[in-house]
Structure 1
């Protein structure tokens, strides 16, 4: 702990060293509680929310007794760009609402549009295109897993692709390949989670913090995802012995078996299906071109785009929207909202600065003079 006090002194922070050390211990305690979440039998949102409340209370009290003229937390009204002042609780501006709204909007949008059967329809179409060849099937399912993981959560992607994999291999009488297929698809869900800005929560947080748009993020990550996908597929081919069909007779029988799949069975309503296709295309286009939207619409941010399209999609189930609200991962949203508050308090206590300087000191290389 002494090294952090020393770094605090050198950096000339106004926050007392013991305060920084105290909140560093609080941060470590929170990380440990999250690591032993299953042992504690508490949801991560409750754990982090409790620490967020504790941090707000203690930092307010410490500021009151140490320097009332300059409290540690910047209480007071917030001045808007138009000059008006608005009073908000200290924890409201501490939360990065752009991240929260993207997660909420994208979750609702995908939950609604997936009911149209669009993702299952696409999966069955590709299955028929493979003509039952195991190697082509692995390539198609692998690519589909990456694409689905880029727009859906990993669990939903695995449910769709994994269930179709089980049925397809069962019909082709190749259940011996099932474990290899499922393991490969499970690995590729993580690869697909790197592809777009909305693929995973870490992507959203990093993109928002660094000001990275949807298209630049995609163009940067796509080559890495492409290479990782190819390596995973070829490694799976070698490890699990997935080979192409050898004879024309085998290919003919396999093609007839997968031809019996009917993609139309997954579509409950043709009208809703095509509306979902248009909404999905519009959603992707607006996210990709969000920074170039005219008439200052770009100022609304990607969070608004996600919520707006979620609202449009919900009109197809206007009498049962509450069922979709229940499907939202509120534990995840509560976790990140609380985490932003904790990070905000840690920033005020100079914990983040101290950690950054400590990491920088550990990673710094000796200069030319020292090397000489």
Structure 2
């Protein structure tokens, strides 16, 4: 039997050996041993050894020269199975975890790390399998962020009012769907989309005019640099006082935040085409607008999409922050500021999770559109 070296399984085995020197994983088990006649809840009653055996088996099999697909599957079963038993065992006994609990949690994490490394090095034949792997590895990382969050918060006994675990946030999400939908409708579908479209459109139009007329470029770029340095915390209340508390003032904040990134990136992109290509267009007797449409705008598309992706996050941040300074009794920023005052931190995290999901979908859609439009660019062809 041939073996191979991988530091993650070796470190996981070392952590398991270290955990075996401790008498118990939780304080409840110690209390039960000290006073056998008392009624004491014992977390991990009978499962502590099973967790250790599962992790040890996964680590040892990972060191054997198995096929990479089989190794990844074994590691995933061992790491997720142990993590599930750790989290379910500590639920209801928060704050009672001792050092072995965290050592075994770290061992599970190292096995999952090894699984992600193995999956990243696979060379699938079909395009669908490659796409699946591209999605699977980030999904594994995100899942383990949530697992570690849940286990550490419950194991260390962090008060839920300070940092709720993901399970509590998920329950709040499910129970507050109508409220969250109303907030998304107010913030995203009114303020963000209107401001984003207007800001990016105005920035693009101004960039084309600035490229055509040099005096506009010399005048707008310094103003753009100055406005981009203005703190949103100061601009937002001014615009809210000027335009009212409804979504129009938040859209105005989004316009201010998205206009100049689009302006600067588009101007830079319109200068990206080479002299040889421009000379070729001149030999064809092309005028400015023909050269712009057929050469310079296609060459500027990577810069334009960079601005669109940057603005997708700026728009969401701008609208939410602007709602802190006055809004109808609905909206993501309003909900966050209100629920913080009520100490409903799980609702605050639910709003943050929804905002992160919407922002990720928005950014991902723009990235897919960029790949379709700029398929000729080396960065896309190399991907």
Give the TM-score, by structure 2 length.
0.29
Structure with greater Cα Rg: 2
Greater relative CO (CA pairs within 8 A, separation 6+): 1
